[in-house]
Each structure stands twice: as C-alpha cells, then as structure tokens.
C-alpha cells in the first residue's frame, strides 16, 4: 500500500480531517492529499497519479460529478468513492454512468468507507494487471503476425510465387502495400549467421522485414522509395555486425508483387563476391552474366579426364586438373551458377568414392564445397577432398552420430522427419544437444545435411537411365512431399540446375 495515493475532496475542513484520520489509521503507508474544491482536486489529479478519490458531490467551482466526468473522458486511472448528504437517486444514477460503483451517504460509517477503499484498490490493481496482460498479448500477437508475414514472403521468394497484396497479414507493415521495395541478400563469413541480431536491430521497424530462407540465408525486404536511404541503412549495420564479416547483394527497385524477382536479383548480385573474394555491397545490374552459354559444354571433356584420373588413382594429375580449372574460371568468369555446377561435378566425382573416404567426410566436404563463398574457398575444399580420398579416417565416427546418420538414411523419404522427432522417438536424447553435436562432428547443421542427402538421393534417381522419373515422383520419394515446385527450387539452389536440366545433362554426358 506504500505506493498508493488517496485524495479526499470535501468543502468542510472537519470532514476532510476526520476522513484523513480514519484512512491514516487503517492504511499508514498511503499518501493522503486533500482538496476543498473540484478545481483544486482536478489539478492534483492532473499533477500526479491518484489511485482513489473520496469525493463529495456538492463542492465549489467544479462539483463532484463534473470532476468524475472530466477524469473519465480524459482516461485518467483514478477510482472514485462518492460521498453525499443527498440521498436522491438521481445523483447515484449519474455517478454510475461514469463507472462509479461506490456511493455512500453522510454521515459515513467508518468500516463501510474503509471497505469501499479496499475494494477500489483491488479493482485498480486488477485493471492494471489486465492492462499489462493485454499489452503483453498484443505485443506477442504483433510479433506472431510479423513472423507469419516474414515466413509467407520467404516462402513466396523461395517458390517464385507472387505474394497476395491484401489481408490482415500486412497490418503491422502497411508500407509493403504502397512503398517501393528492395531485397537485400546477406552472406555471413562466420559459423553462426547473426539473424537474431538483425531481428533485434530492426524490431519495431515495420519498413524492414528480416526473412529467413533455406540454408540459413538471411534476406531483408526494405520499404523505401530512395536507393540512397536503403544504402545508408545498410551502412549503419556496421555498428551491429563486425566490419568485413558479411557481404551484401541489393536488388533493383520494385513493388510487393515483384518480391520473387527482387530476391533473385539480390542473390545474383551477391554471387559477384564469389570471384572478388571481398566483403561489401554490390548492386544488381542486368548484364552481370552473359556470353558464357558454352562454358559447361566445354568443361565436359575436362571433367571426363578428371574422372579417369580419379578412377585410376592418379592423384597428382587429378590435382593439376583442379588447378587448371581454377585458372579457367578466373580467366573466363562464367556465372557463379555455372562455376558452382562445374565445381560440384568435380566434387561429386570424389565424394562418391564413399568406400574410400567414408560417408561422414564425403557429405561434410561436399556440403562445405556447396557453401563456399569464394572461388578460392571452393578450390581449396576440392583439393582437400581429393587429398582425403584414399586416406583412412583419423578417428572412428562418434557412435551417436552414426545412429543419427542411420536414422536419416532410413527416414529420408519421410517429409515429417526432423531433428526433434528423431531425438524424441529414435535416439532418446535432447534435440538441442544432438543438433550441436551433429554440427560439431559433421561441419554442417542437421537440416543442411538432410537437404543435401535428399538432393543426392534425387540425383541418383535422375541418373537412372532405365526409368525416367517425373519430378513430382522424385519430390515425394526423397522427402519433399507433394510439393515438386519447392523441391525444384531447392534442387536448383544446390546444383545450379533444375531437375530436368540436370537429368538431360547427365544422360548426354553418359552417352558421350
């Protein structure tokens, strides 16, 4: 009660002092204020928080009912206990219209007065608690609405689907429906992408949405009509993220329906860092990649020679072919998609020798090759894969990891398969611990490994020359469910080609 304040309003001094004495004896820690007119009482209520006002009706200047009316209309949080020597029902009725629930007639019974004050205190405490709860729920609802919006837009970007431009979904970010839009794709040069740091930094900014894409990719959608302001906003991130720890690709200007195209532009711009091996911001241009349509075809012959050297265990000659590939890529600078496709084909030649290097090292290194942010990193990984090809594993695989890999292999086709499900129903260990252990031992996250394993399984089906599977059949067989469009999107991100293009290219290569 020490933080409570009671105001006593009465034009008779003896009554004010008598009520103050009763209140002080019952609530010794409560602060007591007194006023002899409605105007004086109103000024006190405006100048500081007043929890309860014990108010006489017939007071000078501003009567008790007028005081109550004004406080209610202004939204002040004061509770009122009304006193009057007049027992007319009209006063009670008018007081109740303003939410007053306690109307006492003079002379007032002390216990009745104290009980009314206690009840008013309890009501006020309950109202405050309700307000805090509602505020908390509103904050959580706003957060869920914002999360749902970012997930929806991330899904649209991933699937190449035009987002709908109406509905409650945009309530927290109405600027998306009217302002110009920019997509910004990040690549972080560190083990753990600081997505949560970005979320915290932009919290409360309805003009900036932080979207999480597959493979822990982070994309910002920024509502702004000025490219200069967008770039200034990105420059300000150096106060949050360490300088040189990330690279950025920025799309052209567009609108909400253009979101999938803007996303592709941002990721394309980001790919320019592959050859430049530096951090910074690159803006999308229409003529980034052109004139290299025959690059992959020219590399097929070199790849065939590499296969022969690996099969015959001519490691030095195979490594020399990798050096020559590196020089050609630096010289010609084909699109990063084309370069990654060629590098991955070289990597797959090595990784499929699993009987020599073990599935653990194979997937760990092919995963690292796919995530390489620069050409230099990719070539170094390819060299490492080749050197480890016939090297015996330095240590036995962790028994728990071995069990996890077995579970993945057995349940790869199940679209509901997850780390949590495996931890709870198969391994019987904490899912957070398993996730950290898996990343430590394998070098990639559990979800990344599962996606890569599913893509490898899909490739095997596409390479089957005896039966031509349809894309929707492969999608379901490898765990992507009845969602061939999403499967194709992920397949392209992992391989640089659509499933059908990969199949045609592989079969043509085999026939030649």
Please tell me whether residues 166 and 279 are part of one structural domain.
yes
Instruction: For residue 35, give the H/E element and its range.
Output: strand 31-35
Please tell me whether residues 389 and 348 are part of one structural domain.
yes
The answer to whether residue 136 is domain-embedded is: no
| Per-residue model confidence as pLDDT tens digits over 198-255 | 888 888 788 898 888 876 678 889 998 898 999 999 888 877 787 777 888 899 999 9
| Residue where a domain stops, chosen among 395, 410, 437 | 395
| Per-residue model confidence as pLDDT tens digits over 313-333 | 788 888 899 999 888 888 887
The answer to whether residue 484 is domain-embedded is: yes
The answer to whether residue 154 is domain-embedded is: no
Please tell me whether residues 402 and 370 are part of one structural domain.
no
Please tell me whether residues 165 and 225 are part of one structural domain.
yes
Please tell me whether residues 386 and 409 are part of one structural domain.
no
Cα of first residue to Cα of last residue in the chain, in angstroms, is 90
Write out the two tokens for 300. 């097929």
Please tell me whether residues 309 and 251 are part of one structural domain.
no
Please tell me whether residues 317 and 276 are part of one structural domain.
no
Q: Who contacts 426 (Cβ-Cβ below 8 Å, separation ≥6)?
A: 403, 407
Write out the two tokens for 59. 């007071």
Cα-Cα-Cα-Cα torsion 107, 113, 114, 120, nearest 10 degrees, comes to -160
From residue 265, how far is each of 160, 218, 229, 231 by CA, in Å? 12, 14, 19, 16
Please tell me whether residues 301 and 384 are part of one structural domain.
yes
The answer to whether residue 149 is domain-embedded is: no
Domain residues for 506?
397-512
Handedness of CA 500, 502, 506, 509 (dihedral sign): positive
The answer to whether residue 64 is domain-embedded is: yes
Please tell me whether residues 370 and 299 are part of one structural domain.
yes
Burial state string for 148-160 with b = 16 or more CB within 10 A and e = fewer than 16: ebbebbbebbbee
Handedness of CA 213, 215, 216, 218 (dihedral sign): negative
Burial class (CB in 10 A: 0-12, 13-18, 19+), 93: exposed
- Residues recorded for the chain: 512
Residue 144: predicted pLDDT: 76
Pair 82, 104: CB distance under 8 Å: yes
Residue 371 has pLDDT above 90, yes or no: no
Please tell me whether residues 328 and 354 are part of one structural domain.
yes
Instruction: For residue 269, give the H/E element and its range.
Output: helix 259-271
Calculate the average pLDDT of the chain: 81
Domain containing residue 224: CATH number: 3.30.70.270
| Per-residue model confidence as pLDDT tens digits over 477-511 | 999 988 888 888 888 777 767 888 888 777 666 55
User: Is 221 in a helix, a strand, or coil?
Assistant: strand
| Per-residue model confidence as pLDDT tens digits over 245-272 | 788 889 999 999 999 999 989 988 887 7
The answer to whether residue 147 is domain-embedded is: no
CB atoms within 10 A of CB 9: 29
| Per-residue model confidence as pLDDT tens digits over 271-310 | 777 787 665 788 887 655 554 556 666 777 788 888 888 8
Residue 194 has pLDDT above 90, yes or no: no
Residue 116 has pLDDT above 80, yes or no: yes
Please tell me whether residues 311 and 362 are part of one structural domain.
yes
| Residue where a domain stops, chosen among 395, 417, 441 | 395
Give the mean model confidence (pLDDT) for residues 8-37.
90
Helices (H), 352-444: 354-357, 359-371, 375-387, 399-411, 419-422, 431-442
| Per-residue model confidence as pLDDT tens digits over 373-414 | 788 888 888 888 787 766 555 455 578 888 898 899 889 889
Please tell me whether residues 168 and 278 are part of one structural domain.
yes
The answer to whether residue 139 is domain-embedded is: no
The answer to whether residue 313 is domain-embedded is: yes
Q: Any bridge partners for residue 105, and if so which?
A: 84
pLDDT classification of 192: cutoffs 50, 70, 90: low
Domain containing residue 431: CATH number: 1.10.10.60
Per DSSP, which regions of 131-267 are E strands?
Answer: 181-188, 208-213, 217-223, 246-250
Domain count, the chain: 4
Give the mean model confidence (pLDDT) for residues 119-143.
79
* pTM confidence score: 0.50
Query: Residue 54: what are its φ and ψ, rounded to 5°?
Result: -90, 110
| Residue where a domain stops, chosen among 371, 395, 419 | 395
Report the Cα 389 to chain-centroid distance in Å. 39
Nearest residue to 492 via CA among 174, 195, 166, 268:
268
| DSSP per-residue codes, 106-136 | SSPPHHHHHHHHHHHHHHHHHHHHHHHHHHH
Which residue carries 């104290």 as its tokens? Answer: 114
Residue 357: predicted pLDDT: 45
Residue 394: predicted pLDDT: 47
């Amino acid at each position: 009660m020490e933080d409570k304040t009671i105001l006593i309003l009465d034009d008779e001094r003896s009554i004010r002092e008598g009520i103050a004495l009763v209140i002080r004896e019952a609530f010794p820690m409560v602060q007591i204020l007194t006023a002899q007119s409605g105007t004086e009482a109103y000024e006190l209520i405006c100048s500081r928080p007043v929890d309860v006002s014990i108010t006489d009706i017939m007071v000078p200047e501003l009567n008790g009912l007028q005081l109550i009316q004004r406080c209610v209309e202004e939204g002040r949080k004061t509770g009122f206990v009304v006193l009057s020597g007049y027992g007319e029902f009209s006063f009670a009725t008018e007081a109740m219209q303003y939410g007053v629930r306690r109307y006492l007639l003079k002379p007032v019974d002390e216990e009745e007065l104290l009980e009314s004050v206690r009840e008013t205190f309890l009501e006020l405490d309950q109202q405050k608690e309700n307000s805090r709860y509602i505020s908390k729920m509103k904050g959580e609802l706003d957060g869920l609405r914002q999360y749902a919006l970012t997930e929806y837009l991330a899904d649209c970007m991933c699937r190449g689907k035009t987002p709908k431009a109406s509905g409650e979904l945009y309530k927290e970010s109405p600027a998306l429906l009217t302002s110009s839009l920019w997509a910004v794709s990040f690549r972080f040069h560190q083990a753990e992408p600081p997505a949560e740091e970005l979320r915290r930094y932009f919290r409360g900014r309805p003009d900036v949405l932080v979207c999480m894409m597959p493979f822990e990719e982070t994309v910002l959608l920024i509502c702004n009509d000025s490219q200069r302001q967008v770039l200034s906003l990105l420059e300000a991130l150096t106060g949050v993220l360490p300088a040189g720890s990330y690279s950025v690709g920025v799309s052209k200007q567009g609108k909400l329906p253009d979101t999938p195209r803007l996303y592709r532009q941002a990721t394309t711009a980001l790919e320019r860092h592959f050859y430049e091996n530096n951090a910074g911001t690159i803006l999308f241009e229409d003529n980034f990649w052109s004139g290299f349509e025959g690059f992959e075809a020219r590399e097929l012959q070199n790849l065939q020679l590499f296969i022969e050297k690996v099969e015959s265990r001519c490691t030095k000659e195979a490594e020399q072919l990798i050096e020559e590939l590196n020089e050609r890529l630096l010289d010609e600078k084909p699109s990063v998609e084309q370069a990654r496709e060629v590098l991955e084909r070289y990597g797959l030649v090595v990784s499929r020798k699993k009987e020599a290097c073990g599935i653990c090292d194979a997937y760990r290194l092919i995963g690292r090759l796919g995530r390489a942010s620069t050409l230099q990193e990719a070539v170094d990984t390819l060299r490492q894969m080749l050197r480890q090809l016939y090297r015996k594993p330095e240590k036995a695989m962790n028994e728990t990891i071995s069990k996890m890999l077995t579970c993945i292999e057995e349940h790869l086709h199940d679209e509901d398969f997850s780390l949590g499900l495996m931890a709870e129903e198969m391994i019987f260990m904490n899912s957070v611990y398993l996730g950290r252990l898996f990343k430590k031992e394998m070098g990639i996250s559990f979800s990344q490994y599962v996606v890569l394993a599913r893509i490898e399984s899909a490739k095997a089906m596409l390479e089957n020359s005896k039966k031509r599977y349809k894309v929707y059949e492969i999608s379901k067989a490898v765990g992507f469910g009845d969602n061939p469009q999403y499967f194709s999107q992920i397949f392209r991100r992992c391989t640089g080609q659509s499933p059908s293009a990969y199949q045609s290219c592989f079969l043509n290569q085999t026939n030649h």
